[in-house]
Amino acid sequence: MSRPSDHRRSQNERRLKDLKMCQLCASTNRVQAHHIFEYAKGGPSTVEGMISLCLDCHQRMIHKDSEIRIKKKENHITTFGRGGK
Ligand SMILES: [Zn+2]
Ligand SMILES: [Zn+2]
């Protein structure tokens, strides 16, 4: 089981790896680490299981639309919107 301290460390590591830059819009404003796989649904608290997003993208694109997910494959990121299936 991951402990909160591991979680936080992974988030920090994720941001450093992504050069503290939003991986969707390249903003460096208030970048946070988002769990690609929901933490509540058993997503891993690892660097690989997260992605750096600015506050804007994080809230607007991810958590306000449950249909949108991020698929990160190597360095390629795709978002899936409501009409994008
Ligand atoms: Zn962004
Ligand atoms: Zn998030």
Whose structure tokens read 């089981």? Answer: 1
Would you state the pLDDT for residue 17? 94
The percent of residues above 70 in pLDDT, for the chain, comes to 66
CA of 21 to the centre of ligand 2 (A): 15
d(CA 41, CA 37): 7
Q: List the domain boundaries for the chain.
A: 4-79
**Confidence check: pLDDT of 67 > 50:** no
3-class SS of residue 38: coil
More confident residue, 78 or 5: 5
Ligand nearest to the backbone CA of 59: 2
Separation of alpha carbons 53 and 61, rounded Å: 10
Residues across the chain: 85
Q: What's the pLDDT at 43?
A: 74
State yes or no: pLDDT of 16 exceeds 90: yes
Tell me, in angstroms, the distance from the centre of ligand 2 to residue 75's CA.
19
CA of 55 to the centre of ligand 2 (A): 9
25 and 61 Cβ atoms separated by less than 8 Å: no
Residues near ion ligand 1 (CB < 5 Å) are 22, 24-25, 27, 54, 57
**pLDDT attached to residue 66:** 46
